[in-house]
Structure 1
Amino acid sequence: MSESGLTQLGDGVWAFLRPSGGWGEANTGLVVAKGTASLVVDTVWDVAWAKRVAEVQQPLVADAPITEAVNTHSDGDHWWGNDTLPAGTRITTSAAALDGMHEDLPPAALTAMASAGELIGWMPGPVGAAGSYMARVRAGARFPRRTPRFPDHTFDETHRLTIGDRTVDLERLGPCHTAGDLVAHVPDAGVVFAGDMLFIGTTPILWHGPLENWIAALDRLLAWDADVYVPGHGPLCGADGIRELRTYWMWLSEAARARYDRGIAARQAARELARSTEFERWNHWSSPERMVLSLSTLFDQWHGNPPGPPTVLRRARAFADAEALLREGVF
């Protein structure tokens, strides 16, 4: 499916889709209980896009004000637009995601880093490469000047929200992509808002892990047998899209482990994997160089380090590797 913009998924259930799924191009959701209340799933980090989504949703919630919102995880592209929500909206996320939001860099710091990256990106070596890739991550987005509203309600494993006469079931499936990844299931509509448990047609990133948790999370999504899954990035999908992502992770883990065991570094492993015949199945996904970002996590854990959010140094090295591979023309 390749719908773009506001797309109706079922009775009173909508998604605002950006199917290219690139950096920061996150999908959001809306669940409306006609005449009573509404729920928003995620907000976006670009100021202009966040306002546009809020404006487009406004006619749909005219008689059903937004009283609840959910942030699926701690990455800024899924919650830095929270200030566009009505002031009285209760915002829910997992306790682990809220911790991650407080620990992560605020939007002002990321703006400064991306701006610096544009200035030093010409420099040879890893410093210039990391800066250049940081500018790619921003991708022209304008971040809010101040840190937006944090969620004010958390849960640990599962939680049920009541929106008028509808229920929305929340379940934390992380740590996977991040520490506190959650999904939102709308049973009466057969819709699951999967956050960054799903990247469809765009290369996923394992920042936290362990990868085994992500595989188990995909199996959990399949068990719901929903009619429509809304990924965090990319177009709508069904079960086949989830299975394809699962196959990618299984392949990457096995192929990368074989190279790790031979003492090959993450960048060289990514270079070899990108040139393999097996990778032809996924080389059309956008941002394929993000493979090396996931390898940085896998290699770090295979070194014996426990799963956790990336240190600034590991993230910078991974960004430098990704940019170097792009400059080489590997991807």
Structure 2
Amino acid sequence: MSAGTAMKQIGDGVWASLWEPGGWGQANTGLVVDPGSVSMVIDTVWDVPRAREIADETARLTANAPVTEAVNTHSDGDHWWGNDTLPSGVRITTSSASLHAMKEETAPAGVNAFAALGSRIGWVPGPLGAMGSYMNRVRGGAQFPGKSPRLPDHTFDVTEKITVGSRDVQLRYLGPAHTVGDLIAHVPDAGIVFTGDLLFIGSTPILWHGPLGNWLGALDHLLSLDAEAYVPGHGPLCGTAEIRALREYWIWVEESGRQHFDAGVESTPASRNMMQSKEFERFSTWDCAERLVLTMSTLYRLWEGKPAEPPTLARRARAFADAGTFLREFESR
């Protein structure tokens, strides 16, 4: 197994593939096993070689408990573009809102072509080059699937209990927040919660959809579960202390960002000011701090009374141009 794909047992019959440090595309996945019965996979990764390695390791761990269920926690490709590595008979579940967003997403081949273009034009001055270089950064070294992967075939609206042999996995839709369809998977008998991208640990979170109040509510719900361990979408296992730190980050973003918005400061300069403030210092060690620019573009749109934008390539390209421009200015200082 390559680094970042090996399964780590984190509870009774529960494993996680923790792809640290948890940067762009480095998504965590999970496995719930009822020995001698059946198993469930939680999320798949978008990098084809890694997805296959995880599938091979999963097959080894489930030799006497075949995978019959899978869950995709939300619509970002790095959490479901590996669905074709699942056994063909597996039922895949996600929230109704997430499935709708998955159908709106640009296909992997289109994103790959866009990122490849970005690698060639990243040197170009101005927003075009900034967008291209940042998109290439987002892809990293990932090898995307050549065709659109298998979509989930089962959805729910608010809550769903899936029985995995003799074990229950409780699904709950807590979005819209990071994306329109964020859900969590709670394994009560093991004290483990798979949170998808409602938790970024050690890296800066992104608000693609909002509203931010929903994300704060989701964090409060996670805290109320008082689990033994939480598996974030990105980063290492965590407990309640890390969730509270993320909550403090979002409260700071909301309060400081709104002050800038009300003062008429545009979103990217506002992000720059916020990252230069003393209040930011406690979050400055988190990776990809420039993601604040992406979040602020979402928040400004919401504060202007406009609806959240769908996850199209055009929407993300504009955001990546802003983030890439900011990063160029920051790195040139």
TM-score category, normalised to shorter length: over 0.9
Task: Give the conservation status (yes or no) of the 8 Å contact 1:120–1:131.
Answer: yes
- Residue 208 of structure 1: CA displacement? 0.3
CA contact (8 A) 1:297 1:310 kept: no
Decide whether aligned partners of structure 1 residues 143 and 313 sit closer, same or farther in structure 2, where only a CA change above 3 A counts: closer
SS in structure 1 opposite 2:189? helix
Instruction: Tell me how far 1:310 sits from its aligned partner.
Output: 4.9
Give the 3-state SS of the residue equivalent to 2:197 in structure 1. strand
User: Match of 2:239?
Assistant: 238
Distance 2:75 2:22 in 1: 18
Please, which runs of 5 or more residues in structure 1 have no aligned partner?
none
8 Å CA contact 2:118, 2:131 repeated in 1: yes
Matched, 1:18 2:29: no
- Give the drift of 1:7: 1.2
Match of 1:210 in 2: 211
Query: 2:144 maps to what in 1?
Result: 143
Other-structure match for 1:319: 320
Deviation at 1:186, TM superposition (A): 0.1
State the partner residue of 2:112: 111
Counterpart position of 1:77: 78
2:159 corresponds in structure 1 to: 158
CA distance in 2, matches of 1:191, 1:129: 40
Q: Specify the alignment match of 1:286 in structure 2.
A: 287
Q: Which amino acid aligns with 2:39?
A: S
Q: Pairwise mapping of residues 1-331 of structure 1 onto structure 2 (< 5 A)?
A: 5-310=6-311, 312-329=313-330
Q: CA RMSD in A?
A: 1.3
| SS of 2:89 mapped into structure 1 | coil
The SS at the match of 1:29 is strand
- Return the letter of the residue paired with 2:205: P
Aligned letter for 2:40? L
Question: How much identity, in percent, do the aligned residues show?
Answer: 60
Post-superposition offset of 1:307: 3.0
Distance 1:38 1:307 in 2: 36
The one-letter code of the counterpart of 1:159 is E
**1:74 Cα deviation after fit:** 0.5
Separation of aligned partners in 2, 1:11 and 1:311: 40
Deviation readout 1:11-41 (Å, 9 max, x if unpaired): 1000000121101000000000000100000
Which ranges of structure 2 fall in alignment gaps of 5 or more residues?
Answer: none
Distance 1:248 1:271 in 2: 16
Amino acid at match of 1:317: R
Structure 1: how far apart are the matches of 2:266 and 2:316?
A: 15
Q: State the Cα distance separating 1:284 from its structure 2 match.
A: 0.8
Return the offset for 1:314: 4.1
Aligned length: 329
| CA contact 2:105–2:312 (8 Å) conserved in 1 | no
1:313, distance to aligned residue in structure 2 (A): 4.5
TM-score (norm 1): 0.97
Tell me, yes or no, if the aligned pair for 1:8 and 1:14 is still in contact at 8 Å: yes
- Check the 8 A contact 2:104/2:312 in 1, yes or no: no
The answer to whether the 8 A contact 2:309-2:315 is kept is no
CA–CA distance in structure 1, aligned partners of residues 138 and 316 of structure 2: 12
Counterpart contact for 1:209–1:308, Cα < 8 Å: no
CA distance in 2, matches of 1:149, 1:72: 15
CA contact (8 A) 1:26 1:233 kept: yes
What TM-score results when the alignment is normalised by the length of structure 2?
A: 0.96
Q: Please state how far the C-alpha of 1:317 moved relative to its aligned partner.
A: 2.6
